[in-house]
């Protein structure tokens, strides 16, 4: 099969012919019909992710059809239209037994712990636990765009942040993750304040439902600006970018007993950001992470997509070929692309 292969970290990638994957006894092989290009892929290419062993095929935001089925798989057949969360569970560790497959003790992450979906085919482990069936009405590009940023935002806003109707939700960083969070929090009936340094991103956030926006490059203090808009601070605040500044602001702009959710990745030089811990104590703030979402939690999100309350297809920017994906991947750190880029030709 054709695949984008990382031979050396931070050195331009190439498309190569590699062996087709075979399914594990508990797994399937998916024919990839769409693959999202994500900043996590850029981190994998740069060598920031310790799971990655070279040579490596990146890619974790995928949708496609089941091509081959392992002998122990009971729920899936060849031809089924499917997607997967970017973290797959084993199904039998204590975390999986508690329903928290997103933090499985022996988790499977296509494109990190194993070869991923910048390829014609990808092997997915523990298929009965991790595959999600696609509704007939959901196209492959949109489905691929869910698996990482959108589901992580859904879990961040709904399960971790527990945003409620009428509450203020601040979203710091309006890339793919942040815009997803704006849409999801708005659909729940929350009032969203979107924060970014790009007017284009803020305009898009406003179109997706944000009732107020803050241009972080034009105010003296983002924390004060959000506190003023929300009359005392946000109930829930997300760092959707993953940067020490946005993390600090997201915690700083909370009202008492507010909840910060760290959604953007903090890797390499950014892995130990400063946190206003005295404020966390005095105001009884809560700090959460959000690490994908379990396959069994997709049902609520899919229902909101099918009913039209969530429209993730609006977040898709460009559709490109596997050849074009190399350039898209290596330039992911430049914050330029509006919306989610999806590979749809392999
Ligand atoms: Zn991703
Ligand atoms: Zn597990």
Distance, CA 9 to ligand 2 centroid (Å)? 29
Distance, CA 103 to ligand 2 centroid (Å)? 7
Per-residue model confidence (pLDDT) at position 94: 98
Residue 336 has pLDDT above 70, yes or no: no
DSSP codes of every residue in 320-339: EEHHHHHHHHHTGGG----S
Please give the share of the chain, as a percent, with pLDDT higher than 90. Answer: 88
Per-residue model confidence (pLDDT) at position 230: 98
Please give the share of the chain, as a percent, with pLDDT higher than 70. Answer: 99
Residues within 5 A (CB) of ion ligand 2? 89-90, 93, 96, 104
Would you call 281 exposed, middle or buried from its count of C-beta atoms within 10 A (0-12, 13-18, 19+)?
A: exposed
Per-residue model confidence (pLDDT) at position 338: 67
Per-residue model confidence (pLDDT) at position 123: 98
Q: Residues 29-43: what's their mean pLDDT?
A: 94
Q: Residues 294-304: what's their mean pLDDT?
A: 96
Residue 119 has pLDDT above 90, yes or no: yes
Distance, CA 298 to ligand 1 centroid (Å)? 16
Distance (Å, whole) CA 147 – CA 3 = 20
Distance, CA 96 to ligand 2 centroid (Å)? 4
pTM of structure: 0.93
Q: Which of residues 21 and 270 earns the better pLDDT score? A: 21
C-alpha distances (whole Å) from 219 to each of 137, 213, 245, 273, 301 are 43, 11, 14, 22, 35
Distance, CA 95 to ligand 2 centroid (Å)? 6
Distance, CA 164 to ligand 1 centroid (Å)? 26
Per-residue model confidence (pLDDT) at position 276: 93
Residues within 5 A (CB) of ion ligand 1? 38, 40, 61, 148
Max intra-chain CA distance, the chain = 61
Q: Residues 310-332: what's their mean pLDDT?
A: 93
């Amino acid at each position: 099969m054709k695949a984008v292969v990382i031979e050396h970290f931070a050195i331009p990638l190439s498309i190569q012919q590699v062996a087709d994957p075979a399914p594990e006894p508990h797994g399937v092989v998916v024919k990839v019909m769409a693959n999202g290009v994500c900043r996590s892929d850029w981190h994998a290419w740069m060598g920031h992710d310790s799971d990655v062993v070279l040579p490596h095929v990146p890619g974790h935001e995928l949708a496609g059809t089941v091509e081959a089925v392992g002998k122990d798989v009971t729920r899936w057949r060849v031809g089924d239209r499917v997607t997967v969360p970017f973290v797959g569970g084993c199904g039998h560790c204590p975390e999986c037994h508690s329903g928290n497959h997103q933090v499985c003790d022996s988790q499977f992450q296509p494109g990190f712990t194993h070869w991923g979906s910048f390829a014609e085919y990808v092997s997915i482990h523990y298929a009965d636990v991790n595959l999600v069936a696609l509704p007939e009405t959901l196209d492959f590009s949109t489905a691929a765009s869910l698996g990482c940023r959108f589901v992580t935002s859904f879990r961040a806003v709904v399960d971790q942040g527990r945003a409620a109707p009428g509450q203020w939700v601040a979203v710091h960083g309006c890339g793919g993750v942040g815009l997803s969070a704006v849409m999801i929090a708005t659909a729940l009936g929350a009032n969203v304040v979107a924060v970014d340094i790009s007017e284009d991103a803020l305009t898009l956030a406003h179109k997706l439902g944000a009732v107020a926006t803050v241009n972080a490059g034009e105010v003296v203090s983002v924390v004060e600006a959000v506190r003023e808009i929300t009359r005392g601070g946000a109930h829930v605040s997300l760092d959707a970018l993953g940067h020490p500044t946005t993390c600090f602001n997201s915690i700083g702009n909370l009202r008492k007993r507010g909840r910060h959710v760290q959604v953007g990745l903090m890797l390499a030089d950014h892995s130990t950001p400063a946190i206003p811990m005295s404020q966390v104590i005095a105001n009884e703030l809560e700090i959460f992470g959000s690490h994908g979402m379990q396959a069994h939690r997709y049902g609520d999100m899919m229902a909101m997509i099918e009913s039209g309350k969530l429209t993730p297809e609006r977040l898709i920017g460009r559709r490109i070929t596997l050849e074009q994906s190399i350039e898209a991947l290596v330039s992911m750190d430049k914050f330029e692309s509006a919306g989610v880029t999806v590979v749809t030709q392999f």
